[in-house]
Chain A
Amino acid sequence: MTVAAIEPSVVENLVRRLTGIVGPDGLINSQAELLVYECDGYTLEKNRPDVVVFPTATEQVVEIVKLCREMRVPFLPRGSGTSLAGGCLPVGGGVIISLARMKRILEIDLRNRFALVEAGVINMWLTNRIKSEGWHYAPDPSSQGACTIGGNVATNSGGPHTLKYGVTVNHVMGVEIVMPDGTVQTLGGPVEDGPGLDLTGVVVGSEGTFGVVTKAWVRLVRNPESVRTLLGVFESVDDATAAISAIIGAGIVPAALEMLDSLILKAVEEAFSFGFPLDAGAVLIMEVDGLDAGLGEEAARIEKLAKANRAREVRRANTEAERLLLWKCRKQAFGAVGRLAPSYCTQDGVVPRTALPEMLRSITAIGDRHKIRIANVFHAGDGNLHPILLFDERDPDQLRRVMEASHEILDECLRLGGSVTGEHGIGVEKIDFMAKLFSPDDLAAMRRVRQAFNPDGLCSPDKMLPTAGACAEAGRHKQVKPGRRAAL
C-alpha cells in the first residue's frame, strides 16, 4: 500500500497514547530529533517518521503495534539503521519501532550450542561475550560492530565467512515475533529441526514486512582449531576472478574468499596502512580454517592455484594481529571509501561465479559510460558483488548518473543469470527490480504469503514487494515512492 501523510491531529493523539505505553523518555517526536531517523545507510532517499518509539520489552511492542493498527498508522522496525537498501526508510511516515533498547543477551547455552538474544543485541556483542570460551556467532556482516541481530534476521545477512558457514538463516533456530495484529508468535526454538512448516525460514529475510521480531534463538559455533589466511596479489581483476573459479572448482571450500580492486585498496591503505601493493590490479583474501592437520596443504593448494592464474605473489598472514588487521581492512572498506568521495552508493548483486570476469568488465564499461568511478570489494566466493559508486550528493546530475549506472549494473547481473541482491535486501532501493527478477505468478505467491502475516499492509509498507500492478513498468517508481521523490 502507499501511505499518505498522517494528519497532525492524529500524530498528536498517537504521541499521547504511545507515551502512555513507553513513558515520556521512550519516544521522540520533535522535528530536529526525527530528522536523524529520516534515512539509514542508504541516503539517496529520505523521509521523516512521525514518531520514533523505543520499547524495552516485547509487551510494549505488542501495545505499540496494536495501537498503530487501531489508528491505521504504518509502522516499521529499526535496529542500528545500517541498511544499505533503505530497509529502515519510513516510507509515508508513521512510527519507527526502534529495537535499540531491547539489547539483552537472555541465555547462552554452549552445551546445546545456542543463545537467546533480544533483537537489539549488536552482532559483535554476542561473539565478544563468548569468545573467551572459544565460541562465536558465525554470520559476520561487515557492519557487525554496529548492526543488530534483529536487523540481520530481517535481511538474512551474510558476511565474508558465510561462504563456508552459511548465512543468517542457517543460524537462526527460532524467533519471537510480534505479528502485525499484535499477537506474539514463537516460531521454532532452541531445539533443532522441529516438524511442520519452517516458518522461521520464512520470516528470516522478510525485511520487517511480516512483523517485528523481538527475540531470536541463534546457533553458536565453536572457533576453528586453526586458520590460514593468504593474500593473493594480481595484476588484473580478470586474473583474480579466474583464480576464484579455479579454487572453488578444485573442490576447496574456503572459510572466506574476498576480492578488493585497486581503487578500494587505495582507500583502505590510506585508512589502515596495512601495506597493500598500490600498483596491483586486485587482491584476494583467501582463508581456510578447520583442523590444523591438513590445513597447511590446503593453503599450499590455494597458493598454487593462485599462482597458476598469474598471481604476482601470495603472502601469508603470519600473526593473529596481522590477520585481524587484514580483516579490518576488508570489513571497513565500505566506510573507508568516504576517503575517495563525499558520497557513495554500494550496490549488491549476485552472478554465477564463472560470470565474474564478464560482469566486472561490464561494470567498468558502465562506469566509463556514465563517468562514475566505481570501486569493487566483494564476497568473491559466492559471486556476491559490491560495486561502490562514488559521487557527490550535492550534484544532482551525478546523482542521476549514479542511479542510472546502478540500474544498468543490476540489469547486467540479471542478464548473466544472477540476482539484484545477495545480502543487503530489496528495501526501497530495489523494489522496481522485483518485477524483472520474478514472474507475476512468483510475485503473487509471495504477496499471498505476506498477506497471511501482514494482511492490512501497515507493517513496513512499500518495502521488498511491489504493490500489485504498480511497478510492472520500469520508470514508474517516481510515482509510487514518495521517499524517492523527496530525495531527488
Chain B
Amino acid sequence: MSAPATRQSLPIASDLGKNIDYELFMDCVHCGLCLGSCPTYVETGNENDSPRGRIYLWRAIADGRAPFSPEAEKHMNGCLECMACETACPSGVQYRHVIHSFKNDQARTRGPAPMLGWLQRAMLFGLTPHRGRMGWALFPVKLMQRLGLGWAVRLSGYLMPGFLRRMQEIVPDLAPYHNLPEFLPAIGPKRATVGLLLGCAADAFHPQINLATARVLQHNGCDVHTPRSQACCGALHKHAGLDDDAARLAAGNCDSFAAVPGGLAGLDAIISNAGGCSPVLKDYGHILEGHDAAGPGAVFGGKVRDIHEFLAELGPVKPRHKVSLKATYHDACGLAHAQKIRSAPRQVLAMVDGLSLVPLAENEHCCGAAGSYNITQPEMSAALGQRKSGNIAATGASAALTGNVGCLLQIDRHMRDRSPRVWVGHPVQILDAAYTGEKPFGLNVAIS
C-alpha cells in the first residue's frame, strides 16, 4: 500500500546493510526459481514477499537506492526463515546470511522484534526461552485441564487481547511432567554415550517427547546424559538478531555438557529432538567465534545430531511392538531445508510394524510456526497453519508426525479447528511406543 507523504521513514543508519559480505548479494542471479517454493510468496503473490524480492530489497537498501521504509521492514520481517528457498536455489545463494544481516541491523537500530508491544516482547524473550518459568506459567492451565476444565480455559481465551489469546490457543493438552534423571543407562549392549538436549518451551509443553527420546536412545544402547543446568539453545535470539544473547546461551550449554562425567570429549553425540533448534546448535562454532568458548563451541556443534539422523547413522535396533496406525509426516523446515534431513525420519519410522505412512501434499511447505513467527506475524502464520491442516486432513491419516515441537504445537492448534480427531505428535513418540509397548500420551492406538 502507498506510503502517504507524511509517513516518516524509519531511522536511517548510514551503515545499514553494511555488515554483510556483498558477494552474498551477488550470488543471486535473479532467476526467480525460488518463488514457487516460498510460502509467503505463494500466499501473497507479491514478489516483495519472495526470497528474490527480499534479497533485492535489502541490497537496494544497502546500496542506498531504497529507503528503509516501513513497507520494506514489513516484507523483510515477513520472512519465515524456513529456508525452502535455499533448497530451491540452484545458484547456492546463502539466504540465511542475507536475512540474518537484516535482523542484526534491525535489532541494532530498532530493537529486536519491533513489531511487538513491550508486554509481548517481554513474554517472548523473558518467558518462552526459560524451561522453569514456562512450567510455572502453564501450571494453572494444567491444573484446570486435570480438573476437567480445559474447555473453560479455551473459552476464557475469548476474553483475552488478541496476542494473549493466540498464545493461549497454542497450549496443547499437557502431559504430566517427567523430570528426567541426569543419567539413564543403556538397555542391552552399550553402543554410544550421548547428551540429550531438552529445549526450553518444548519441555514445558511436551515433556513426554523428551521422555520418549531418552527411552528410544536407551533402547538403542545409549547411555543418556541430561544435564539439568542446560538452557535454551539461543535460536530464538539468533533469529531476532540478538547475537550476543545467543552466544551467551551457547556458552552456557557448552559448560553444562562439559560438566557431565567424561566431559564433552566423552560424548559421542549431543541429541536434539527439535528440528528448529538443531541447525543453531550445530552452528555453535560460528555463534561463539571470537568468544572465550569458541573451542568448546566448535566441538559441541560438531557433536550435535538430530535424533532421527543419529538413529539412522547408528543403525537403529528393530522395535518389538506393532503400532497399528495410519500416519502422515510433515517435514519440519529446520530438518528438511536447513539440515537436508528428509529420509532419516521416514527410514526409522519404516521400522515400526503396523505403521503406514501416507504422503502429504506440500510436505515441505512451512506450517507457519517458524520459531516465534506465530507471535510476530500472526496473520500469515494462521494462513499457513490452515493450509497445512487442510493438507493433513486430506490425507485421511489419523496421526500427523513432525520432528519439531514448534511445528507440532502449530499443527495441533490448527488441527483442533479442522479435524480434532487427528493426533499430532513426534516420530519418537511412535518409536517409543514400538519399543516399550506403551501408548503415547493422547493417542488411542492398538499396540501389540
Residue positions of A touching B, CB distance < 8 A = 15, 24-25, 27-33, 35-37, 39-41, 43, 52, 54, 80-82, 98, 100-101, 103, 120, 122, 124-125, 128, 143, 145-147, 270-271, 332-339, 342-344, 392
Contacts and interface: CB of A to CB of B under 8 A. Distances in A.
Interface string B55-80: 01100110001110101100100000
23 contacts: A25-B1, A28-B46, A28-B71, A31-B67, A33-B72, A35-B65, A36-B52, A36-B53, A36-B57, A37-B47, A81-B35, A100-B45, A101-B45, A143-B32, A146-B33, A147-B32, A271-B92, A338-B27, A338-B29, A338-B93, A342-B29, A343-B26, A343-B29
Contacts of B37: 145-146
Given A80-B36, A146-B33, A332-B90, A32 B46 contact: no
Nearest to B88: A145
B57 A145 contact: no
Interface in B386-406: none
Chain B, interface size category, equals 35 or more
Tell me which of B47, B72, B89 has the highest count of chain A C-beta atoms within 10 A of its own C-beta. B47
Contacts of B1: 24-25, 27-30
Nearest to B74: A33
Interface of B: 1-3, 23, 26-37, 41, 44-48, 52-53, 56-57, 60-61, 65-67, 69, 71-72, 75, 88-93, 361
Nearest to A54: B45
Contacts of B46: 28, 33, 52, 54, 98, 100
Nearest to A27: B1
Nearest to A331: B90
B32 A40 contact: yes
Given A30-B69, A35-B60, A335 B91 contact: yes
Given A32-B57, A36-B57, A82 B32 contact: yes
B66 A32 contact: yes
A333 B91 CA distance: 9
A421 to B, nearest CB: 18
Contact of A80 (B32, B44, B57, B361): B32
A29 B48 contact: no
A432 to B, nearest CB: 23
A146 B34 contact: yes
A33 B48 contact: yes
B3 A30 contact: yes
B27 to A, nearest CB: 6
A32 B71 contact: yes
Nearest to A37: B47
Contacts of B91: 271, 335-339
Nearest to B75: A33
A335 B57 contact: no
A271 B32 contact: no
Main secondary structure of the interface of B (DSSP, over half): loop
A253 to B, nearest CB: 29
A337 B37 CA distance: 20
Contacts of B53: 36
B36 A146 contact: yes
Given A333-B90, A335-B90, A338-B93, A36 B31 contact: no
B23 to A, nearest CB: 8
Contact of A332 (B28, B33, B47, B71): B33
Contact of A32 (B29, B47, B67): B67
Contacts of B88: 145-146
B73 to A, nearest CB: 10
A374 to B, nearest CB: 16
A82 B75 CA distance: 20
A377 B3 CA distance: 45
Tell me which of B36, B48, B88 has the highest count of chain A C-beta atoms within 10 A of its own C-beta. B36
A332 B61 CA distance: 29
A103 B66 CA distance: 30
Nearest to B45: A100
Nearest to A99: B45
B65 to A, nearest CB: 7
A35 B57 contact: yes
B30 A41 contact: yes
A25 B69 CA distance: 17
Contacts of B52: 36
Given A122-B36, A338-B91, A344 B67 contact: no
Nearest to A339: B92
Nearest to A78: B47
A15 B32 contact: no
Nearest to A346: B31
A459 B393 CA distance: 44
B155 to A, nearest CB: 32
Contacts of B361: 128
B167 to A, nearest CB: 26
A339 to B, nearest CB: 6
Q: Which 8 A-B pairs have the closest CB atoms?
A: A338-B91, A335-B90, A100-B45, A332-B90, A342-B26, A32-B66, A82-B32, A101-B45
A128 B226 CA distance: 44
Given A32-B61, A80-B36, A147-B32, 18 more contacts: A28-B2, A28-B48, A29-B1, A30-B1, A32-B67, A33-B48, A35-B57, A35-B66, A54-B45, A80-B32, A122-B36, A146-B33, A146-B34, A270-B92, A338-B91, A338-B92, A338-B93, A339-B91
A338 B32 contact: no
Contacts of B36: 80, 122, 124-125, 145-146
B56 A30 contact: no
Contacts of B3: 30
A389 B201 CA distance: 51
A335 B33 contact: yes
Contacts of A332: 33, 90
Contacts of A98: 45-47
A178 to B, nearest CB: 18
B102 to A, nearest CB: 13
Contact of B72 (A32, A82, A334, A339): A32
Nearest to A270: B92
Contacts of A120: 45
